[in-house]
Amino acid sequence: MGRGLRVCCLLLGTTLLACTSPAGREFSDRAPPAIDPAAVPDATPTPDPITPAGNTSPYTVNGKTYRVMTSAQGYRERGIASWYGLKFHDRPTANGERFSVYGPTAAHRSLPIPSYVRVTNEENGASMVVRVNDRGPFHSERLIDLSYGAALRLGFADRGTATVLLEVIDVPGVQDMRAVSYRHLQLGAFSTRAAADALAQRAGAVLSISTTVEAAVELQPPLFRVRAGPFPDSAAVNAAQWDLKAVGLPEGQPVP
């Protein structure tokens, strides 16, 4: 079973909350039931904006300070990959998304979140694309933490670690929005107040946060906009989107 000193980080504003073991103490992770490696997909590179969620820089873990790269363009590095599994399944990642033990995702100490990386196992030639959405591994000898599913696909889940080559995939059209703080979600706009109120009620039950309807009276006929917030920071906004999506509601658009 793979083990590693791995930190599940949720960045709240400029504060880093790390769920980790005390310095110097190892803890055991657990592998989920094995699946067909072919069932683990590649991440699909998309021009996701780089927001403040998960990108606080500098940040400190276990007394060591790390900085997030200004740009990932051209990044290429060799190092040791490890994996993390059931101990962190469904917990928030650094940008508020939920970790899936079988998903094509990864944790990296300094790449902007999100980044898309081709990971090649140099010991067997297996390769796949993952999406970096978390921080770690905070172990000096390791370069990247992959989901258990990604490690399974790359052929080292049973060993725990492997030597890999990381190559960032440059995605055109990515906007760097790290200077903007998003604290609200606009969930929709409706021509009738009744439709807006219905969505506000359903979303409010999921989010347990203020969900309001605002009439855009400057438009004729007026539109009724459904907004949730304010959230404490962009990471909380991102987490709320995943909660809404999980129950089949519109995930909304982050707005200041």
Q: Is the pLDDT of residue 204 over 70?
A: yes
C-alpha–C-alpha distance, residues 175 and 181, integer Å: 14
**Identity at 174, one-letter amino acid code:** V
Reference 5, options 22, 31, 154, 153; nearest CA is 22
The strand pair at 64-66 and 59-61 is best described as antiparallel
Query: By mean pLDDT, which of 36-45, 83-92, 104-113 is the weakest?
Result: 83-92
Q: Both tokens of residue 143?
A: 């370069």
Q: Which residues make Cβ contacts (< 8 Å) with residue 246, sequence separation at least 6?
A: none
Please give the pLDDT value at position 21. 28
C-alpha–C-alpha distance, residues 255 and 252, integer Å: 9
DSSP string, 216-252: ETTSSSPEEEEEE---SSHHHHHHHHHHHHHTTS---
Q: Is the pLDDT of residue 156 over 90?
A: yes
C-alpha–C-alpha distance, residues 123 and 58, integer Å: 34
Q: Both tokens of residue 81?
A: 């990959």
Q: Is the pLDDT of residue 220 over 50?
A: yes
Domains belonging to the chain, first-starting first, are 8-168 (2.40.40.10), 184-255 (3.30.70.1070)
Contact (Cβ atoms closer than 8 angstroms) between residue 51 and residue 236: no
C-alpha–C-alpha distance, residues 184 and 67, integer Å: 27
Reference 114, options 37, 54, 32, 61; nearest CA is 54
Please give the pLDDT value at position 138. 93
pLDDT in tens, 42-94: 999 999 999 888 999 999 999 999 999 999 999 999 999 999 988 888 888 99
Q: By three-state DSSP, how is residue 161 classified?
A: strand
Read off the pLDDT band of 198 (50, 70, 90): very high
pTM, two decimals, is 0.69
pLDDT in tens, 225-250: 999 999 988 888 888 988 998 899 98
Rg (CA), the chain: 20
**Identity at 194, one-letter amino acid code:** A
Please give the pLDDT value at position 218. 65
For the chain, what is the mean pLDDT?
86
What count of Cα atoms within 13 Å lies in the side-chain half-sphere of residue 33?
A: 1
